[in-house]
Amino acid sequence: MNTVLSRANSLFAFSLSVMAALTFGCFITTAFKDRVVPVNIHVSRVTLENVEDFTGPREKSDLGFLIFDINADLQPIFDWNVKQLFIYLSAEYSTKSNALNQVVLWDKIILRGDNPKLSLKEMKSKYFFFDDGNGLKGNRNITLTLSWNVVPNAGILPLVTGSGHISIPFPETYKTPMSY
Amino acid sequence: MLDIFASIPTQMDYKGQKLAEQIFQGIILFSAVIGFTYGYVIEQFGWTVYIVIAGFAVSCLLTLPPWPMYRRNPLKWLPAQDSAVEEKKQQEKKSKKHK
């Protein structure tokens, strides 16, 4: 504390310690928050095709096309410890070969300050909905859920699944659009 | 060039050092409390950081330079003594002991 440099050193160290404590406080004020919000998913049309999957088994596999609407108000999730949300729509279903299949169909990053009210109409999926066989044809129960990763300033990275999912049956035949 | 900087007196006396430490700790803790509350209310952690940085800058300005208020209690050194006289006295003491 006798010279300028030693004073600057202790001042800087003390400031950093205080900043670390504040960051921990920011984490602890939001750590136990419930970040589930209701989500409304609606599927308007499903088409099923049987095409060769060049990335996978090189056999003809089922490829589904979905047209969907999503309505959700994500505003309650945002607080001072949220930088952005990574939201994604995933399909879950079971086939003979796998008890659980999960396919991400669509995703979006919502930054802080973006419009947190999702109101999407007639959306096409962003990624191919390929099964690794013929498990989509005539599948009675394909469940669509919207989940999100909460990217924080400090602390854990929670993975939350929105409440409200939809289960749809897939068509029994290929290339015949099915409307709901 | 460096000698110029070295010749600038930057020392504080002991009481001044204690005062400087108390001042910067007080300012930074105060700005931390204000920043935390403000950031929590407006839900922007960035403002918490800015306010703490502002407190850091203010306390730098207040405690880094050796302002006169930190130099009010200088150490009292013994008066300078003539070294030749000192040596003579010591020699005399030694010679007395030997006798």
Among A15-24, A99-108, A167-176, which is the least confidently predicted range?
Answer: A167-176
pLDDT of residue A55: 78
The whole-chain average pLDDT of chain A stands at 90
pLDDT of residue B37: 96
pLDDT at A177 exceeding the cut of 70: no
Single-letter amino acid code for the residue at A148: W
Note which residues in 16-35 of chain A have CB less than 8 A from chain B: 18-19, 21-23, 25-26, 29
pLDDT of residue B88: 63
Q: What is the SS3 assignment for B84-99?
A: HHHHHHHHHHHHHHHC
Whether A68 contacts A123, CB under 8 Å: yes
Q: What is the distance between the alpha carbons of residues B58 and A66, in angstroms, rounded to a whole number? A: 59
Mean pLDDT of all residues in A10-15: 95
Confidence at A180, pLDDT banded by 50, 70, 90? low
**Three-state SS at A50:** strand
Beta-carbon-side half-sphere exposure of residue A25 (alpha carbons within 13 Å): 16
From A12, A25, A79, residue closest to B36, measured CB to CB: A25
pLDDT, tens digit, 9 for 90 and up, residues A38-51: 999 999 889 898 88
CA distance A165 to chain B (A): 30
Chain B contact for A153 (CB, 8 A cutoff): yes
Confidence at A14, pLDDT banded by 50, 70, 90? very high
Chain A contact for B70 (CB, 8 A cutoff): no
- pTM for the model stands at 0.77
Core vs surface per residue B36-75: b (16+ CB within 10 A) or e: beebbeeeebebbbebbeebbebbbebbbebeeebeeeee
Note which residues in 5-64 of chain B have CB less than 8 A from chain A: 10-12, 17, 20-21, 24-25, 28-29, 32, 35-36, 39-40, 42-45, 48-49, 52, 55-56, 59-60, 63-64
* Helix%, strand%, coil% for chain B, nearest 5: 75, 0, 25
Mean pLDDT of all residues in B45-69: 93
pLDDT at B54 exceeding the cut of 70: yes
pLDDT at B85 exceeding the cut of 70: no
Q: Do A80 and B12 touch (CB under 8 A)?
A: no
pLDDT of residue B73: 84
Chain B contact for A111 (CB, 8 A cutoff): no
Q: What is the distance between the alpha carbons of residues A4 and B74, in angstroms, rounded to a whole number? A: 17
Whether A85 contacts A142, CB under 8 Å: no
pLDDT, tens digit, 9 for 90 and up, residues B5-14: 777 777 888 8
Q: Which residue of A has its CA nearest to B27?
A: A15
Q: Which residue of A has its CA nearest to B49?
A: A19
Confidence at B66, pLDDT banded by 50, 70, 90? confident
pLDDT at B52 exceeding the cut of 90: yes
pLDDT, tens digit, 9 for 90 and up, residues B17-29: 999 999 999 999 9
Q: What is the distance between the alpha carbons of residues B99 and B95, in angstroms, rounded to a whole number? A: 6
Whether A29 contacts B37, CB under 8 Å: no
Q: Do B17 and A2 touch (CB under 8 A)?
A: yes
pLDDT at A172 exceeding the cut of 60: yes
Q: Do B43 and A10 touch (CB under 8 A)?
A: no
Confidence at B77, pLDDT banded by 50, 70, 90? confident
Rg (CA), chain A: 23
Both tokens of A86, joined, read: 């990574």
